Each structure stands twice: as C-alpha cells, then as structure tokens.
C-alpha cells in the first residue's frame, strides 16, 4: 500500500490543496476579533513586535510578524489541520535536519482596488521556495498556509494561482513585463490561472514555487487572510524579525521548536548538539 494519500497526489500534481474548515468557528472569531483591534498604522509603523510592511502598494495592508499579535496567532504555529502535512512537505521529514521553521507570518487586509500581480513559478529554480521530490519524499523549500478569515468569492480579491506551475520549465509570458510595471496595472487575469474561492475558516496550502498572486478586489469591505510561510529548520527569516522573549517563553515546546528550531549557542552552553541530546 502506498504511504501517500489523495491529497499528496493532488499536491504533487497541482502544487496546492484547499483545506476546508481548517479552523473551527471559535478560533475564526478570535482571529477576526484580533483583526478588529489592529490600529490604523502607517507603512513601516510598529505595533508591539509587529510592523505594518505592505509587500507592494497595491495588495493592501500587511501586518508582519503577526504571531506576536496575540494567542490566536500562536495557535496557528502548529495547528493540527496542517502541521503534519507541512512537516512531510517542507520539513525534511525523516532526515538529519528534520523540522519546520516559520519564514514569514503576516496578516493581510485587502480593500476595494487591491490586487497582487502573479509571481513565482518552477522556472525560477530558486531553492528557497522550490518544489522538490526525491528519494520517495517531498523536499519543498517553502509551503504556505493562506487562511481565509472572511468568505472569499468573486470580486473579493481572491488568490490567483496557476495549477501545476510549480513544475514549470518555461516562464509564463506575463513575466516578460517587469513586476514593477505590472503592479501599476488595474488587474491581471492570465491564461492558465484560476482564482481560489474559499469560505472563512478554509486554508489554501501551496508550495511557494507555484505561480501566485491575487485578483483585484472590486467588492466593498475587507478580505482578511493570515499567511504563514513554512520551510526547513535551516532557513532564515525573510525580513529579520526577532521573536520577543515573552512569546518564546509563553508558547508550547512544540511551537517554540518551530519559532526557534536551533537553540542559540552562547559561551558556556553546556553540551553538544540538541539533536543528539537523547544519546
């Protein structure tokens, strides 16, 4: 019998999965409640150990290092709806460098007019976000959880993906135009892409090498999502945020291992490598 399930097959084939009802209604309400308390920040402004740092001026507000914005965001670190699958997809499962790491985590609020041009794809060959499968195991560089906190239907500014593009050898022709130009456009709907519609509480899991972006939001109101990007323990944080000692002390040992998989080593550190601690 194969050790792989249908979801594994689909993830390999398409580069993404939809996890329906990934979180329960209580956590969904808590996360939305937390979004309601976000202050009106300017670009670059800090709020505690989070910072507003929008990726581009068109996609909407992005609050980086959002795991520092309260307990509901901590619950997402190793949520049972995704943690085991992530471990198999991008956690170097069963190897000597086994384990997960969070590369980037942020909240995103998209209002009317916001969109995100398509980017990424297997043709880039970038190791950091690559799709990989070798020796009967997944070896992805980065797999993302994009958790919907509001229903995302037509006109809501949903994520746009090109299924299968994590294995592309050839760049989509849309990439012949520079990103900086495309970001100024009103919208971008490219051949071969689909818009992902989800219910609040569903999550899109996708390898970052999949070409992705977002459709323009035309409806009133907010599209709210949380994005956590995971990779192997040897990765490094995208923007260099440090976690506060309070957060590291508060989370569970399993969560702390994901936030800080490699224990800091100062002079006087007593013993050898953590991975051999049991030996």
The interface with ligand AKG within residues 165-184 (CB under 6 A) comprises none
Q: Which two tokens stand for residue 74?
A: 């901590």
Which residue, 99 or 190, has its beta carbon nearer to ligand AKG? 190
| Distance in Å, CB of 113 to ligand AKG, minimum | 14
**Per-residue binding letters, 247-266, with ligand AKG (x by CB under 6 A):** --------------------
SS in 3 state form for the chain?
Answer: CCCCCHHHHHHHHHCEEEECCCCCHHHHHHHHHHHHCCCCCCCCCEECCEEECCCCCCCCEEEECHHHCCHHHHHCCCCCCCHHHHHHHHCCCCCCCCCEEEEEEEEEEECCCCCEEEECCHHHCCCCCCCCEECCEECCCCEEEEEECCCECCCECCEEECCCHHHCCCCCHHHHCCHHHHCCCCCCCCCCCEECCECCCCEEEEECCCCEEECCECCCCCEEEEEEEEEECCCCCCCCCCCCHHHHHHCCHHHHHHHCCCCCCCCCCCCCCHHHCCC
**Per-residue binding letters, 101-130, with ligand AKG (x by CB under 6 A):** -------x-------x--------------
The interface with ligand AKG within residues 132-171 (CB under 6 A) comprises 159
Per rule CB under 6 A, is residue 206 in the interface with ligand AKG?
no
Which residue, 213 or 257, has its beta carbon nearer to ligand AKG? 213
Q: Which one of 23, 86, 174, 214 is in contact with ligand AKG (CB under 6 A)? A: 214
Q: Which one of 121, 122, 201, 213 is in contact with ligand AKG (CB under 6 A)? A: 213
Per rule CB under 6 A, is residue 212 in the interface with ligand AKG?
yes
**Per-residue binding letters, 59-98, with ligand AKG (x by CB under 6 A):** x---------------------------------------
Which residue, 177 or 263, has its beta carbon nearer to ligand AKG? 177
Which residue, 165 or 251, has its beta carbon nearer to ligand AKG? 165
Place of tokens 């580069």: 15
Per rule CB under 6 A, is residue 16 in the interface with ligand AKG?
no
What residues make contact with ligand AKG under the rule CB under 6 A? Answer: 55, 59, 108, 116, 159, 212-214, 227
């Amino acid at each position: 019998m194969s050790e792989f399930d249908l979801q594994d097959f689909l993830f390999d084939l398409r580069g993404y999965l939809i996890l329906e009802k990934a979180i329960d209604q209580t956590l969904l309400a808590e996360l939305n409640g937390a979004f309601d308390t976000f202050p009106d920040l300017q670009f670059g402004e800090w709020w505690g150990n989070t910072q507003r740092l929008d990726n581009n001026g068109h996609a909407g507000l992005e609050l980086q290092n959002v795991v520092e914005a309260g307990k509901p965001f901590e619950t997402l670190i190793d949520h049972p709806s995704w943690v085991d699958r992530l471990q198999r997809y991008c956690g170097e499962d069963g190897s000597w460098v086994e384990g997960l790491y969070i590369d980037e985590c942020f909240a995103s609020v998209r209002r009317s007019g916001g969109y995100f041009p398509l980017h990424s794809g297997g043709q880039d060959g970038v190791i950091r976000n690559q799709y990989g499968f070798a020796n009967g195991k997944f070896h992805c560089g980065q797999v993302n959880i994009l958790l919907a906190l509001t229903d995302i239907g037509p006109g809501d500014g949903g994520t746009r993906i090109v299924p299968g593009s994590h294995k592309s050898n050839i760049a989509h022709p849309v990439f012949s135009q520079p990103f900086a130009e495309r970001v100024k456009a009103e919208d971008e709907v490219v051949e071969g892409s689909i818009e992902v519609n989800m219910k609040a509480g569903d999550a899109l899991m996708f390898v970052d090498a999949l070409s992705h972006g977002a459709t323009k939001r035309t409806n009133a109101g907010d599209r709210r999502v949380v994005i956590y990007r995971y990779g192997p323990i040897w990765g490094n944080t995208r923007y260099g945020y440090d976690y506060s000692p309070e957060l590291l002390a508060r989370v569970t040992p399993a969560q702390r291992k994901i936030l800080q998989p490699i224990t800091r080593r100062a002079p006087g550190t007593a013993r050898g490598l953590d991975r051999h601690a049991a030996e």
